Structure formats: C-alpha cells, structure tokens
Amino acid sequence: MLNGAIPLSHASAGPLNDIVVPVINGKATNRKQLSSIVKIESYQRSGLFFRDETDPDYKGTISAYPTLTEMLVSATEMSEVGKQTMRENAIHVAREKFGRGAFSAKWNKSISKALFIERVRRSNRGKVEQLY
C-alpha cells in the first residue's frame, strides 16, 4: 500500500476492519468509527473487497461485497482518476496506521506506560529493595 498498490482483499477480519480502511475527512478510519456512516463513497476507499460463496462464513445470501470475479472486473474497469485516488488513499492509510511515525508514537506511548508503572512499583519498595 505504501508504494501505491491497490489492495484486492477478502472482506474479512484484518483487511476489512483495520488495514484496507476508507479515508474520511483526511483520516484513516476503522470499522468501529464507521458505525455512524451509512455509505462509503468510492473516492474514500483505499482498496477493493470481495466475498465468495466458497467462504466458510457465506450464508447463501446476497453479500454487500462482490465475488472475486466481479471485483476483478470492476478493478479493470476503474478510471485512471479513480485508481489514482484509491492509490493515494492506500498510501495515506499505510503511512498513518503503519508508517515509522505511527510506529514510533505507539512505541513511545507503550514505553512511557511501562516506565510509569516501574516508577510506581519502585517507589512502593522498601529502602533496601529500592537499590535493585
């Protein structure tokens, strides 16, 4: 995604909920944030999804997602502008969620929490234990 690849993903778990997410108002979203949004517009998508009747979770009903064949056909029929918009969204999502800046921020937050816990625990130790 970071290099502009348009993800063609199965509509399940990680890709659907956390990785190939739409860009809304300049922010990569996740499925929890989308609960209040009725429809995702094509210019907001960062990739394409499919489901198939061979899927274990397929219930025999019409899905909100196309089959793999239908998705591939729609991908080949997309306009160059549509493809470029989707590429830009994919790059944006990849940078925001998985780039160095995002990793560093999450790492620093985790380390700060660990340091805080360590300081609290050390302050609760006896005088001799505080040396160690």
pLDDT value at position 117? 94
Rounded Cα distance, 46 and 54, in Å: 25
Percent of the chain with pLDDT over 90: 39
- Which residues lie closer than 8 Å to 10 by C-beta, 6 or more apart? 16, 49, 50, 51, 55
pLDDT reading at 38 higher than 70:
no
- pLDDT at residue 92, rounded to an integer: 93
For the whole prediction, is pTM greater than 0.85? no
pLDDT at 37: 64
